[in-house]
Amino acid sequence: MNKQSNTYTILYSVILVVVVGVLLAVTYMALKPKQDENIANDKRQQILSAVHVASAEGDVKSAYNKYIVESYVVNADGDKTAGDAFSINMASEIKKPAGERQLPVFVCRLDNGELKYILPVYGAGLWGPIWGYVAVDADGDTVYGAYFSHQGETPGLGAEISTKSFQAQFEGKKLYKDGKFRSVDVMKSGQKPVDGADYVNAISGGTITSKGVQAMLADCLVDYSPFLKKIQVESSK
C-alpha cells in the first residue's frame, strides 16, 4: 500500500485510535478496584473524623471496622429499613421528598465503651456541594463531634468549614430545646438565634458558606428527629 496515500493515512489513524483506546480501557479496568477502594477509604475516614478517630495511613479500613460496630438505614419514622448505609448517596437522597429518603446511621463504639451515632449531611455552599457527618451522643441530643468538607469553596473563607477550629465549635451543642428539635445555627459574631437554638460562630468572610452549613444541618438532621427521639427513650430507661 502506498504510504503517501489518503487511504493509508486514514487506516493508520483508525488503528492507532483503536489501539490507544483499548490500552486506556484496559488500564482503567485494572485501576478501578484500587480507585474504588481509595474512595471508600476516604469516606470511612470522614465518618471516623466525626468521632475524632484518626487512622494510620493505609489502615483506614481496619480502624473503621474496629470502631463502627453497626450501620443501618432508617426511614422517616425512625425505624430501621432495608438498605446498605455505606452505599447510600446523600446527594441523591436529599433531592427526594423528606418522607421518602433513606437515612444512613453509623454506630461507633469508642475505646471507653461509649456509643455515638454518626449521621451524614449534605447541602450547598457558595461554589458547589458541601457535606459532612455529625456524631450524636447516646442521649440522642448532644453533638459529640462534626466533620465537614466541600468541593470548591474559597480557600481562607468558605473552605474554613473543613478546619478543626470551625468543626470543634459544634461539640456539646444540643439538638433539642424543651423537647423540640432545634438544629445548631451558624451565626455572625454578636448575633443569636431568636428561637433559643444552640449556635456556633460563622466564618468571617464566608457568610454564604456558613449559611449553607446551617441550612444543611437543618434540612438533613430534622429527618433524623424521629430516630433521635427513639434513642432518647432508650437512653432514659
Q: Bridge-partner residues for 151, per DSSP?
A: none
Looking at residue 214, what is its pLDDT?
97
The DSSP letter of residue 86 is G
Q: Max CA-CA distance within the chain? A: 89
Is 44 in contact with 56 (CB distance < 8 Å)? no
Residue type, 135: A
- Would the pLDDT of 23 be above 90? no
Please report which confidence band the pLDDT of residue 4 belongs to, taking 50, 70 and 90 as the band edges.
Answer: low
70 bridge partner residues? 107
- Tell whether the model's pLDDT for residue 32 goes beyond 70: no
**If you compute the radius of gyration of the chain from its CA atoms, what whole number of angstroms results?**
23
pLDDT at residue number 37: 80
CB 10 within 8 A of CB 2: no
Beta strands 115-124 and 103-109: pairing type? antiparallel
For residues 221 and 119, the answer to whether their CB atoms sit within 8 Å is: yes
- pLDDT band (50, 70, 90) for residue 2: low
Q: Which residue type occupies 162?
A: S
**What residues does 105 pair with on adjacent strands?**
72
Residues 167 and 26: their CA atoms lie apart, in Å, by 42
Per-residue pLDDT band at 231 (split at 50, 70, 90) = very high
Q: What is the rounded average pLDDT of the residues 163-188?
A: 96
Angle at 113 between CA 109 and CA 116, to 5 degrees: 40
CA–centroid distance for 129 within its chain: 11
3 state DSSP class of 215: helix
Q: List for the chain the helix, strand, coil content (%; round to 5).
A: 45, 25, 35
Query: Which is more confident, 34 or 64?
Result: 64
Domains in the chain: boundaries? 68-236
